Structure 1
Amino acid sequence: MEDVAAMAGVSAMTVSRVLNAPEKVRPQTRARVMAAVRALDYRPNSAARVLATGRSGVLGVVSFDTTLYGPASTLFSIEQAAREHDYTVSIVSLSSLNRRSIGEGVERLRGQSADGIMVVAPHESAADGLKELPADTPLVAVGAGADVPFPVVAVDHRAGAERAVRHLLSLGHETVLHLAGPADWVDANGRTAGWRAALEAAGREAPVPPAGDWSARSGYEYGRQIAADPEVTAVFAGNDAMALGLLRALREAGRDVPGDVSVVGFDDVPEAAYFPPPLTTVRQNFGEVGRRAFDLLLDRIGGTAADRSRRVVEPELVVRESTGVPRGT
Structure 2
Amino acid sequence: MAVVAARAGVSGQTVSRVVNDSPRVDPETRARVEAAMAELGYRPHRAARALRTGRSRTIGVVAQTLATVGNSALLQAIAEAAESRGYALAVVTLGVQGRIGEAFDRLHEQGVDGAIVLNEASALARDADPAGLALVVVDAPADARFAVIGTDHAAGARAATAHLLDRGAQTVHHLAGPAGSFAAAERERGWREELAARGATPPEPRRGDWSAASGHRLGEELAADPSVEAVFVANDQMALGLLRALADAGRRIPEDVAVLGFDDIADAAEFRPPLTTVRQDFAALGDQAVRLVVDRAEGLGAEASDPPLLVPALVVRASS
TM-score of the alignment, normalized to the shorter chain, above 0.5: yes
**Which category of TM-score, normalised to the shorter sequence, fits these structures?**
0.7 to 0.9
Superposition deviation, residue 144 in structure 1: 2.9
- How does 1:54-133 map onto structure 2 within 5 Å? 54-96=54-96, 98=98, 101-123=99-121, 125-130=123-128, 132-133=129-130
Asked whether 1:192 is paired with 2:193, we answer: no
Most deviating of 199-208 and 153-162: 199-208
Unaligned runs of 5+ in 2: none
- How does 1:165-204 map onto structure 2 within 5 Å? 165-204=161-200
Asked whether 1:320 is paired with 2:317, we answer: yes
Contact in 1 for aligned 2:122/2:139 (Cα 8 Å): no
Superposition deviation, residue 18 in structure 1: 6.6
What SS is found at the alignment partner of 1:230?
coil
Most deviating of 208-217 and 221-230: 221-230
The match for 1:247 is: 243
Residues of 2 paired with 1:163 and 1:225: CA distance? 25
Aligned residues with identical type, % of pairs: 47
C-alpha spacing 1:145/1:233, structure 2 compared with 1 (3 Å): same
Superposition deviation, residue 306 in structure 1: 3.9
- Aligned with 2:267 (options 271, 274, 295): 271
Q: Give per-residue Cα distances to partners, 1:70-110, cap 9 Å, x unaligned.
A: 11111121111111111111122221474xx2111111111
The match for 2:212 is: 216
Number of residue pairs matched by the alignment: 310
Contact in 1 for aligned 2:123/2:182 (Cα 8 Å): no
| TM-score, normalising length: structure 2 | 0.85
Contact in 2 for aligned 1:265/1:281 (Cα 8 Å): yes
Superposition deviation, residue 249 in structure 1: 1.5
Residues of 2 paired with 1:286 and 1:66: CA distance? 15
Residues of 1 paired with 2:250 and 2:89: CA distance? 49
Residues of 2 paired with 1:205 and 1:3: CA distance? 74
RMSD after superposition: 3.2
Superposition deviation, residue 297 in structure 1: 0.7
- Aligned with 1:152 (options 148, 157, 167): 148
The match for 1:44 is: 44
Unaligned runs of 5+ in 1: 324-329
| TM-score, normalising length: structure 1 | 0.83
